[in-house]
Amino acid sequence: MVLFAFFFGIALYLGYKSFARGFYIVKPNERAVLTSFGRAQRLDDRLVEDPSLNKDERERYRYPLIRTIGPGGPYFKWPWQEVHKQDIATQSIDLTWDPTKRQNTIEAVTKDNLTTGVDGQIRFRAATGNLYAFCFGVDSPLEHVMGYFISVLRERMANFVDPKGQRLVDGTDLADQEGSAAMELSEGVSINDLRKNLPLLNDYMEQQCRSTGSRYGIELDAALITQIDPPAQVDRALSAINSTRNQVAADISTARADAEQQITMSKRAVEIARNNAQAEVAPLRELAKTLAAIKSNGGAPALSAYVRNMRIPLLRRARRIVQSTGAASAGTFDSNQ
């Protein structure tokens, strides 16, 4: 009887483990992977494919496609099966996150050999198309992604060149860039270039980290690098340099505006003088045309009378008149006599 009760208890316990605890549900923000004796259920022999990976990376990151259980339930599993649930909601984490040590900032060296601190966040989520890598392929996928992200970030900061400054140096857009001299004065310092181009830096990081889903099973949703700070002493020196350069740029802009104003005023003065000269010459030309027409139409006597009448006011204002009397002699007439 005791032996029967013992075996009955064992059977009851196994039944409870098999059926009562064999049901499970999957929440809307979760996806589940079911394993039998530690092996996930494959979808044929297909592998996860990502065209952004090169040939060597495709050989290195060979992850099979596995069956994923969507939200719902209750589902049933056997005792030799295990459910691995993963949250697929988008999460955010600071760049300073490190499971092995505490740190307040990420250090990176710029092109000018300047050590700066970088702060920000990244948003990520588990890759539903590659849960095998997230659950089984990598021991700590988030730690791998953070290490990969920071490595790419440091490499980019060490070689970053402002696109606008590079175009000015190349000379391709000098004719199209208004105030190019003032812009050159504010370029060339790597920390300034990085601060002014944070959106470009974030876009570059997002592009470079698109393959993390195929590598580590984590998809990068956005990179939010918000602050790049050099040491305090360097920051004060940079502030002084930037203030001086901004003042020089402002003086150049003011001088250019004054020069353009003077040029505009000179052009208008020349145009006014030209118009005045044309206004004075126009009646004389019209008069010459009229006199030529009178002469050509047989009005020589009238033309001579007109010339004589026009000489009278001139003779009245003249103090001395020299008149030719012929080839042999010439007489002088004094108007005061």
Boundaries of every domain in the chain: 2-160+197-230
pLDDT of res. 170: 47
Dihedral over alpha carbons 196, 200, 203, 205 (to 10 degrees)? -80
Task: Quick: pLDDT tens for 143-167.
Answer: 888 888 888 888 888 888 877 655 4
Per the structure block, which two tokens stand in for 118?
């970088």
pLDDT of res. 326: 58
Q: Is 110 exposed, middle or buried (0-12, 13-18, 19+ CB in 10 A)?
A: buried
Query: Contact, 43 vs 65, CB < 8 A?
Result: yes
Sheet holding 30-36, edge to edge: 39-40, 30-36, 81-87
Residue 323 CA to residue 307 CA, distance in Å, equals 16
Percent residues over pLDDT 70 in the chain:
82
Q: Which residue has the higher pLDDT, 77 or 174?
A: 77
Name every residue whose Cβ is closer than 8 Å to that of residue 182 and which is 6 or more positions away in sequence: 249, 252, 253
Confidence tier at 189 by pLDDT (50, 70, 90): low
Percent residues over pLDDT 90 in the chain:
2
- Amino acid code (one letter) for 244: T
Q: Which residue has the higher pLDDT, 43 or 233?
A: 43
Query: Contact, 193 vs 186, CB < 8 A?
Result: no
Task: Quick: pLDDT tens for 59-112.
Answer: 888 888 888 888 887 888 887 888 988 888 988 888 888 877 777 788 888 887
Per the structure block, which two tokens stand in for 280?
């004075």
Q: What is the mean pLDDT of the chain?
A: 78
Which CATH class name applies to 2-160+197-230?
alpha beta
Q: Which residue has the higher pLDDT, 4 or 56?
A: 56
